[in-house]
Amino acid sequence: MNPHTIPHQITKSPHLNGPLVDHAKGQHFLKDAFQVILEEALCRATDAKEKVCEWRDAHELRAVLDLELRDGGESHDQLLQRVRDVAKYSVKTNHPLFFNQLFAGVDYYALTGRFLTETLNTSQGVSEKERDRESENDRESVREGQRECEYTYEVAPVFVLMEDVVLSKLRSLVGWAEGDGIFCPGGSISNMFAMNVARYRAFPQVKQQGLWAVPRLAVFTSQEGAVPFLVCATSGTTIQGSFDPLDSIADVCERHGIWMHVDAAWGGSVLFSKKHSHLMKGIERADSVTWNPHKMLLTGLQCSVLLLKDTTVGHVPSTHFDPFHTMCL
Ligand X SMILES: Cc1ncc(COP(=O)(O)O)c(C=O)c1O
Positions touching ligand X (CB under 6 A) are 102, 186-188, 234, 236-238, 263, 265-266, 292, 302, 304
CA angle 240, 245, 246 (to 5 degrees): 115
When the beta carbons of 269 and 326 are compared against ligand X, the nearer one is 269
**Shorter beta-carbon distance to ligand X: residue 183 or 266:** 266
Cβ 260 to ligand X, closest distance in Å?
Answer: 16
How many angstroms separate the CA atoms of 291 and 270, rounded? 11
Name the minimum Å distance from CB 253 to ligand X.
19
Residue closer to ligand X, measured from CB, 193 or 266: 266
User: Of all residues in this chain, which one has the CB nearest to ligand X in the complex?
Assistant: 187
- Strand ranges (DSSP E) for the chain? 129-130, 147-148, 180-184, 217-219, 227-234, 259-264, 288-291, 304-308
> How many Cβ atoms sit within 10 Å of the Cβ of residue 129?
17
Taking the C-alpha atoms of residue 156 and residue 150, their distance in angstroms, rounded to an integer, is: 10
Residue type, 221: T
Helices 58-65 and 76-89: crossing angle, nearest 10°?
Answer: 160
Q: What is the closest distance, in whole angstroms, from the C-beta atom of residue 301 to ligand X in the complex? A: 8
- CA distance linking residue 197 with residue 324, whole number of Å: 7
Q: How far is the CB of 279 from ligand X (least distance, A)?
A: 13
Cβ-based neighbour number of residue 244 at 10 Å = 21
Question: Which residues have a Cβ under 8 Å from the Cβ of 190 and sit 6 or more positions away?
Answer: 184, 265, 290, 291, 292, 304, 305, 306
Comparing CB distances to ligand X, the nearer of 263 and 287 is: 263
**Is the Cβ of residue 200 or residue 266 nearer to ligand X in the bound state?**
266
- Give the C-alpha separation, 189 to 198, whole Å: 14
* Closest to ligand X by CB, 83 or 303: 303
Instruction: Identify which of residues 288 and 292 has a Cβ nearer to ligand X in the complex.
Output: 292
Cα angle 59, 61, 67 (rounded to 5 degrees) comes to 100
Distance of closest approach, residue 187 Cβ to ligand X, in angstroms:
3
Q: Which is nearer to ligand X, 185 or 257 (CB)?
A: 185
Q: How far apart are CB 264 and ligand X at their closest, in Å?
A: 7
In whole angstroms, the minimum distance from the beta carbon of 296 to ligand X comes to 11
Please answer whether residues 263 and 233 qualify as being in contact, where contact means their C-beta atoms are separated by less than 8 angstroms.
yes
Question: Which is closer to ligand X, CB of 288 or CB of 304?
Answer: 304
Q: How many CB atoms lie within 10 A of CB 273?
A: 12
Least gap, CB of 1 to ligand X (angstroms): 49
Dihedral sign (CA 89, 94, 98, 100): positive
Instruction: Compute the least distance from the CB of residue 114 to ligand X, in Å.
Output: 16
Instruction: Dump the DSSP string for 296-319.
Output: HS-PPSS-EEEEES-SSTT--TTS
